[in-house]
Amino acid sequence: MIPPRLRAGLVIGAVAIASGIAGAAIDRSLVTRRLPAPRGDFGRRAPGGGELPRRNQMLDRMTKELSLTAAQRAGLDSIFQRTDSSLRAIRRETQPRIQQIFERSKEEMNARLDPAQRETFAKMAPPGRAPGRPPRDGYRGGGDRGMRGDSARQ
């Protein structure tokens, strides 16, 4: 039988990791999803890794559906650029803290496992990633999305 304090610690650790994984999945599906470049774009990407095609697609849709003038379109594009820049800055500021939390959680979990369990745990793939599939974009732990370093976003 697992002592209640240990069980509580494991539950808290599991909730923290699940929260991180859920947050990373939401981020990946809503914020950082990269859309394919439009055909006329010849695969050109913005330095941020896909914002240019996404922004242009949004502007094209808004121009068509809202009948934007050239001045309105330019103003909205400026707003999109500032928003992208602000979000990248926030990611650069928070990413190290998020990574620390994942690393600390992993260390705490490893401290509660015996050597055989640690070895098995180290080989386990996070939910949503097939075992043996290589990590993406500098992935160092966490969920399916992977934790990207600043260089992947600039």
Encode pLDDT of 46-71 as tens digits: 444 556 788 889 999 999 999 999 99
Q: pTM to 2 decimals?
A: 0.41
3-state secondary structure of 43: coil
Whether the predicted pLDDT of 40 surpasses 50:
no
pLDDT, position 6:
83
Q: What per-residue confidence (pLDDT) applies to 134?
A: 55
Q: Of residues 58 and 42, which shows the higher confidence score?
A: 58
- Rounded to whole angstroms, the Cα distance separating 43 from 60 reads 18
Q: Yes or no: say if 108 and 141 are a contact pair by the CB < 8 Å rule.
A: no
**Any idea how long the chain is?**
154
What is the tens place of the pLDDT at every residue in 106-146?
Answer: 999 999 999 999 999 988 867 655 555 555 544 444 444 44
pLDDT per position as a tens digit, 66-107: 999 999 999 999 999 999 999 999 999 999 999 999 899 999
Q: What is the largest distance, in Å, between two alpha-carbon atoms of the chain?
A: 70
DSSP string, 71-99: HHHHHHHHHHHHHHHHHHHHHHHHHHHHH
Sequence-distant contacts of 117-126: CB under 8 A, at least 24 apart? 126/21
Task: Determine the pLDDT at residue 27.
Answer: 66
Q: How many angstroms separate the CA atoms of 20 and 104, rounded?
A: 12
Higher pLDDT, 5 or 125: 5
The whole-number average pLDDT for the span 13-17 is 81
